[in-house]
């Protein structure tokens, strides 16, 4: 009995040890699990979770053409016009400009280019397409009118000199007027100059103040239309301190052509043809010296009479100076233009 009892006691003791070891193992596992959870929680707190998806960039807006302008709207055939395209875009360096035209020639690249107008008159259209590197695009076009231009014509240029044809005393105030017309009805601009004295005022009528310097002085006007066409005329005025000769007038006659007629304050003659010009002075008994000159063409003077051969084109001013024995002088002039079908019908 004793042996059996001892064996049973030993078996119970082993069972209790196994249970204690199992309990300890469970506790250790629980402690490790708690530690791992705590460590994992700390890690989550210390290192936030990262989004593995890449960030999507905001889309770039396409270019927007704000303005397309030309340097001028007064265009003649063959003229070069500057064109400028203004664009609104966040990345200007990525833009490409594509220019086209219904006629004429595109010169240059980029936002500012030149356009050479064609020979054909009429309405022409310029196109520009602006694209960026993302495929965005915008378009704009501009209509430009091309037309031929006829320069203005000066009909008269007149200096108002009281009772003293062609001359004034120093310091005199002289009103000078120009009458000019433009075939297309363009607005005209008048620019006045003088070889001496002072010009005041603007427009078609100005005032000239004669200088102290005696002699022959010129007052000139340049008349320009909106397309750049221009005409120029000048009138001579003599400044003298003494009584000069009194010129009655000039007589102009054609010599070798029938294409000759009055026009404005002068005459028209066929290109390269000739006419005679004679000056008449009040006192024909006195001794005078005659000096003839012209700004264009060929002029041969002999006393009170001269022969003028017109140039192929343009308007010429023929001037005669009549000087008496005391050195006082008077002057007169006449304009002679080249005859053409366009100006004479």
Whether the CA torsion 162, 168, 169, 170 is positive or negative: it is positive
pLDDT band, very low/low/confident/very high, at 6 (cuts 50, 70, 90): low
SS3 219: strand
The pLDDT value given to residue 307: 97
Is the pTM for the entire model greater than 0.85?
Answer: no
pLDDT tens per residue across span 51-89: 545 555 556 799 999 999 999 988 999 999 999 999 999
Residue 39, pLDDT > 70, answer no
Neighbour tally for 9: CB within 10 Å: 9
C-alpha torsion angle, residues 78, 150, 345, 295 (rounded to 10)? -110
Residue 192, pLDDT > 50, answer yes
Residue 127 contacts residue 141 (beta carbons within 8 Å): yes
The pLDDT value given to residue 7: 52
38, HSE (Cβ side, Cα atoms, 13 Å): 6
The C-alpha atoms of residue 279 and residue 260 are separated, in whole angstroms, by 19
Mean pLDDT of 255-283: 93
Residue 133 contacts residue 94 (beta carbons within 8 Å): yes
**Of 102, 95, 166, whose CA–CA distance to 130 is shortest?**
95
Quickly tell me which residue has 């004295």 as its tokens.
197
Structure-token pair, residue 142: 């501009």
Domains of the chain: 64-146 (2.60.40.1080), 153-241 (2.60.40.10), 245-345 (2.60.40.10)
Q: Which comes out higher in pLDDT, residue 215 or 294?
A: 294
Paired strand residues for 331: 321
157, HSE (Cβ side, Cα atoms, 13 Å): 25
pLDDT band, very low/low/confident/very high, at 164 (cuts 50, 70, 90): low
CA 95-145-150 angle, to 5 degrees, is: 140
Paired strand residues for 302: 305
Alpha helices in 118-207 (DSSP H): none
Mean pLDDT of 29-42: 49
pLDDT band, very low/low/confident/very high, at 40 (cuts 50, 70, 90): low
Alpha helices in the chain (DSSP H): 2-46, 341-344
**Of 294, 331, 320, whose CA–CA distance to 309 is shortest?**
294
The C-alpha atoms of residue 174 and residue 209 are separated, in whole angstroms, by 6
């Amino acid at each position: 009995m004793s042996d059996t009892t001892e064996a049973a006691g030993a078996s119970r003791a082993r069972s209790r040890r196994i249970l204690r070891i199992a309990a300890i193992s469970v506790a250790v596992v629980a402690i490790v699990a708690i530690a791992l959870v705590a460590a994992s929680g700390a890690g989550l707190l210390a290192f936030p979770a990262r989004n593995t998806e890449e960030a999507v960039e905001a889309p770039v807006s396409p270019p927007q053409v704000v303005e397309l302008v030309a340097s001028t709207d007064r265009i003649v055939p063959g003229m070069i016009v500057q064109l400028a395209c203004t664009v609104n875009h966040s990345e200007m360096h990525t833009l490409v400009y594509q220019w086209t035209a219904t006629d004429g020639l595109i010169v240059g690249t980029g936002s500012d280019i030149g356009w050479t107008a064609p020979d054909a008159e009429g309405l022409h259209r310029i196109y520009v397409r602006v694209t960026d590197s993302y495929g965005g695009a915008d378009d704009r076009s501009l209509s430009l009118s091309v037309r031929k231009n006829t320069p203005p014509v000066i009909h008269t240029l007149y200096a108002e000199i009281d009772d003293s044809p062609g001359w004034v005393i120093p310091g005199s105030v002289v009103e000078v007027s120009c009458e000019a017309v433009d075939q297309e009805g363009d607005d005209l601009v008048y620019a006045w100059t003088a070889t001496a004295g002072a010009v005041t005022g603007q427009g078609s009528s100005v005032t000239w103040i004669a200088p102290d310097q005696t002699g022959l002085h010129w007052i000139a006007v340049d008349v320009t239309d909106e397309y750049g066409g221009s005409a120029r005329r000048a009138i001579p005025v003599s400044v003298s301190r003494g009584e000069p000769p009194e010129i009655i007038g000039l007589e102009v006659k054609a010599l070798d052509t029938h294409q000759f007629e009055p026009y404005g304050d002068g005459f028209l003659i066929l290109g390269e043809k000739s006419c005679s010009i004679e000056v008449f002075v009040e006192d024909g008994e006195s001794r005078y010296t005659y000096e003839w000159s012209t700004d264009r063409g060929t002029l041969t003077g002999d006393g009170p009479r001269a022969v003028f051969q017109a140039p192929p084109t343009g308007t010429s001013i023929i001037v005669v100076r009549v000087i008496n024995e005391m050195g006082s002088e008077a002057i007169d002039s006449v304009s002679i233009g080249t005859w053409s079908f366009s100006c004479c019908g």
